[in-house]
């Protein structure tokens, strides 16, 4: 039985690909990165606008607080506290929405790359394909670099 396994292992074709290099070569990733950078800038601009508004209201409060009657002073303080809460909430929701946007943009690209690797492996009779960018493999039997085949499959030059 051991001899049969060894014979099978020697017949199996092994391949490898650097998935990070593949992703960098995909035009879809550049489009996604650009879209994500634009979205991040929008979030940062909104955050900066909220901070500027808070600072303006705080400066006004600090300047005029001695002239406010107690009821109006309390109203202004409550407004500042509410704005602080909004800023904090915006920070949290913007981080969550950024990660969600990233997932939406990158998932199809990762799926496309994965499917191309699987198709090339299947079409060319590879039993195993290793990701050489993972750096977890210390030694393998000689294997073929599938990058050219996968790039052809994805129409990447």
Domains in the chain with CATH codes: 14-153 (3.30.910)
User: Tokens standing for 117?
Assistant: 């690797």
With 0-12 / 13-18 / 19 or more C-beta atoms within 10 angstroms meaning exposed / middle / buried, residue 119 is middle
Question: pLDDT confidence of 140, banded at 50, 70, 90?
Answer: low
Name the DSSP class of 67. Answer: G
The answer on pLDDT for 61 being more than 80 is yes
pLDDT band at 146 (very low <50, low <70, confident <90, very high): confident
User: What's the pLDDT score for residue 86?
Assistant: 97
Whole-number mean pLDDT of the chain?
A: 90
Dihedral of CA 121/125/127/132: which sign?
negative
Instruction: Write out the two tokens for 152.
Output: 């052809």
* Nearest of 87, 99, 124 to residue 40 by alpha carbon: 99
Which of 131, 137, 138 lies closest to 110 in space, CA to CA? 131
Instruction: Work out the average pLDDT over 92-96.
Output: 97
pLDDT on residue 2: 47
Q: What is the pLDDT of residues 124-137, one digit of tens each?
A: 999 888 888 876 66
What pTM, to 2 d.p., does this model score? Answer: 0.74
């Amino acid at each position: 039985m051991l001899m049969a396994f060894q014979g099978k292992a020697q017949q199996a074709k092994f391949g490898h690909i650097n998935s990070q290099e593949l992703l960098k070569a995909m035009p879809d990733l550049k489009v996604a990165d650009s879209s994500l950078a634009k979205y991040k800038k929008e979030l940062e601009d909104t955050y900066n606008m909220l901070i500027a508004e808070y600072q303006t209201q705080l400066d006004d409060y600090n300047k005029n607080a001695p002239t406010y009657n107690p009821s109006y002073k309390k109203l202004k303080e409550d407004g500042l506290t509410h704005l602080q809460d909004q800023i904090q909430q915006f920070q949290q929701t913007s981080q969550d929405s950024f990660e969600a946007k990233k997932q939406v943009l990158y998932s199809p690209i990762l799926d496309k790359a994965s499917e191309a690797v699987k198709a090339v492996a299947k079409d060319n009779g590879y039993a195993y394909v290793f990701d050489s960018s993972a750096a977890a493999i210390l030694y393998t039997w000689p294997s073929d670099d599938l990058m050219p085949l996968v790039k052809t499959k994805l129409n990447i030059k």
